[in-house]
Amino acid sequence: MQNAWLMDEATLFLRFGIALLVGILVGIQREYSFKDPETEHPGIRTFALMGLVGCASALSSDLVHSPWPFVSVIVVVGAFFTVTYYIGSLKAQSGLTTPISALITVLSGALIFWGKIKLGIALGVVTTVMLSLKFETRQFVRQLTREDLFATLKFAVITAIILPILPNSQLGPPPFDVFNPFVIWLLVVFISGISFIGYILIKTLGTQKGMGLTGILGGIASSTAVTLSLTQRSRHEDALSRPFALAIFIAWTIMFARLFVIVLVLNVKLAAMLWRPMLVPIAVGLAYALFLFILHRSEEKAEMRVTNPFELWPAITFGVIFTLILFIAKAAQIYLGESGIYLTSFLSGLADVDAITLSLTQLSDGKNGIQPATAAKAIVFATAANTFLKGVLVLGIGSAPLRKIVLPGFLLLVCGAFLAVFLT
């Protein structure tokens, strides 16, 4: 934190200018949200001044080497909005959103003066976004069920309570050195979080915007779940087989892209070896999905009930499966060499492609002995096995029209997936 006495005028003007712009940003949203021009509400001018007040109060505290000028301003602003809220409640016009956003604007101005410029700007932007999402958040809450609420709480528990208390250390020599409770659970949270975000997007945007959007969002959450859901529905609604097939192929393609993103986040070196082979099934899947889209231009819509993908016991099960796969893959690498890794990845991919991908990504980080090239080929093996299994599910339990539409694309995609193995 820079002392106010040592700042040059250019720095002071810059920080006051940034605080002013943050206040204007929040004020624009507030003024836009109030539709009644006859009623006075805090708007651009008020919030711009709030940003300057925060910056000026922080400057005053620095100049006199005392927190009281800043504290006094916060108390005065809080008291003012408390009175305003009380008067508004008497007129049935009360609301805490504007007072709280004004207080945040003051604090953002103070943070900007104290050199926390990125944090101050971020607070202003996040405040503006949250104020702008009033309708969307209310719509989302109305769609929530009791099961959704409990699933959200469970996700919070495994993330904020269980994860921090787990030991971050290895529990034995190779191959037992893969048992690191914190790292394992962190990856469980990571995968659960991806599925959870995908579910929230589906709940927020809905499934009536077309099966293409359903395939994209469903692929983020779980391509296998989308495949099973639409395949079962096709038995009762075979007239929608083509849009169902479109959604299925988009979800399958998104699965390849999603896994590549996971690897990219966790292991950039491995991702550099994967992007070319992963591009083959992604291109094949997108091409066949585009073919289905052009073939079926009607505006038929379909509803699909999407259940919350996060439950506590499935998450724990995933953790157990992930740990076992991690151990088996490490043991196979030690005792069987590369052939053991490939066999493990293929068999694991039939059950859960995320777990084996995470295992191999961690084991190829340069500390655990698996070569990145071997891990990359094994991951592609797993994706090919997973795609094969989902295709078998469609061909086994889907309606006759769905099987007829999916079969050519399925054969092309499986060929593309196995071709990618040889390109790795």
Residues 7-21: tens digit of each pLDDT: 677 888 899 999 999
- On whether residue 138 sits in a domain, the answer given is no
Question: Which residue range is the domain that position 221 belongs to?
Answer: 144-423
- On whether residue 348 sits in a domain, the answer given is yes
Top pLDDT among 201 and 102 is at: 102
**Which pLDDT value is given to residue 23?**
92
**Which pLDDT value is given to residue 308?**
58
Domain's final residue, options 70, 102, 132? 132
Question: Would the pLDDT of 300 be above 50?
Answer: no
Question: Would the pLDDT of 326 be above 90?
Answer: no
Question: Would the pLDDT of 362 be above 90?
Answer: no
Do 149 and 69 belong together in one domain? no
Do 148 and 124 belong together in one domain? no
- How far is 252 from 383, CA to CA, in rounded Å? 10
Do 124 and 148 belong together in one domain? no
Percent of the chain at pLDDT > 70 equals 75
Do 251 and 320 belong together in one domain? yes
How confident is residue 351, by pLDDT bands cut at 50, 70 and 90?
Answer: low
**Which pLDDT value is given to residue 133?**
81
Least confident piece of the model among 49-58, 272-281, 337-346? 337-346
Contacts 24+ apart (CB under 8 A), 200-203: 200/140, 202/306, 203/140, 203/143, 203/144, 203/148, 203/306
Question: Would the pLDDT of 302 be above 50?
Answer: no
Question: Would the pLDDT of 122 be above 70?
Answer: yes
- On whether residue 27 sits in a domain, the answer given is yes
Helix (H, G, I), strand (E, B) or coil at 185: helix
Question: Would the pLDDT of 304 be above 60?
Answer: no
**Which pLDDT value is given to residue 33?**
75
Alpha helix ranges (H) inside 91-180: 97-113, 117-132, 134-143, 146-157, 163-165
Do 221 and 72 belong together in one domain? no
Do 66 and 159 belong together in one domain? no
**Which pLDDT value is given to residue 55?**
92
Burial class of residue 412 (count of CB atoms within 10 Å of its CB; 0-12, 13-18, 19+): middle
Between helix 268-295 and helix 372-397 the angle, nearest 10°, is 30
Question: Would the pLDDT of 339 be above 50?
Answer: yes
**Which pLDDT value is given to residue 177?**
73
- How far is 212 from 63, CA to CA, in rounded Å? 60
Is the preceding peptide bond at 175 cis, omega within 30 degrees of 0? Answer: yes
**DSSP type of residue 159:** I
Check: CB of residue 134 under 8 Å from CB of residue 34: no
Do 188 and 119 belong together in one domain? no
Top pLDDT among 346 and 71 is at: 71
How confident is residue 299, by pLDDT bands cut at 50, 70 and 90?
Answer: very low
- How far is 88 from 86, CA to CA, in rounded Å? 5
- On whether residue 58 sits in a domain, the answer given is yes
State mean pLDDT over 17-31.
Answer: 90
Domain's final residue, options 81, 100, 132? 132
Structure tokens at 92: 């049935």
| Assessment of whether the complete model's pTM goes beyond 0.75 | no
Check: CB of residue 62 under 8 Å from CB of residue 4: yes
Do 80 and 155 belong together in one domain? no
Top pLDDT among 248 and 329 is at: 248
Top pLDDT among 129 and 202 is at: 129
Do 384 and 255 belong together in one domain? yes
How confident is residue 364, by pLDDT bands cut at 50, 70 and 90?
Answer: confident
Rounded to the nearest 10°, the torsion over CA 153, 158, 164, 168 is -170
Do 340 and 381 belong together in one domain? yes
Do 334 and 409 belong together in one domain? yes
- How far is 397 from 244, CA to CA, in rounded Å? 14
The predicted-structure confidence for 223-275, as pLDDT tens digits, reads as follows 777 787 778 777 777 777 787 888 888 888 888 888 888 888 888 888 888 88
Question: Would the pLDDT of 209 be above 60?
Answer: no
**Which pLDDT value is given to residue 97?**
79
Question: Would the pLDDT of 67 be above 60?
Answer: yes
Percent helix / strand / coil, the chain, rounded to 5: 80, 0, 20
- On whether residue 417 sits in a domain, the answer given is yes
Number of domains within the chain: 2
**Which pLDDT value is given to residue 212?**
67
- How far is 302 from 241, CA to CA, in rounded Å? 11
The predicted-structure confidence for 157-197, as pLDDT tens digits, reads as follows 778 888 888 888 877 777 677 778 887 787 677 666 655 66
- On whether residue 139 sits in a domain, the answer given is no
- Mean pLDDT, the chain, as a whole number? 78
**Which pLDDT value is given to residue 90?**
65
State mean pLDDT over 280-299.
Answer: 79
What does residue 297 show for φ and ψ, rounded to 5 degrees?
Answer: -95, 0
Domain's final residue, options 110, 132, 154? 132
Do 194 and 107 belong together in one domain? no
Top pLDDT among 295 and 56 is at: 56
**Which pLDDT value is given to residue 227?**
80
The predicted-structure confidence for 74-105, as pLDDT tens digits, reads as follows 888 888 877 777 776 666 556 677 888 888 99
- On whether residue 137 sits in a domain, the answer given is no
Top pLDDT among 100 and 140 is at: 100
Question: Would the pLDDT of 306 be above 60?
Answer: no
- Most distant CA atoms of the chain, gap in Å: 81
Percent of the chain at pLDDT > 90 equals 10
State mean pLDDT over 297-305.
Answer: 49
**Which pLDDT value is given to residue 337?**
60
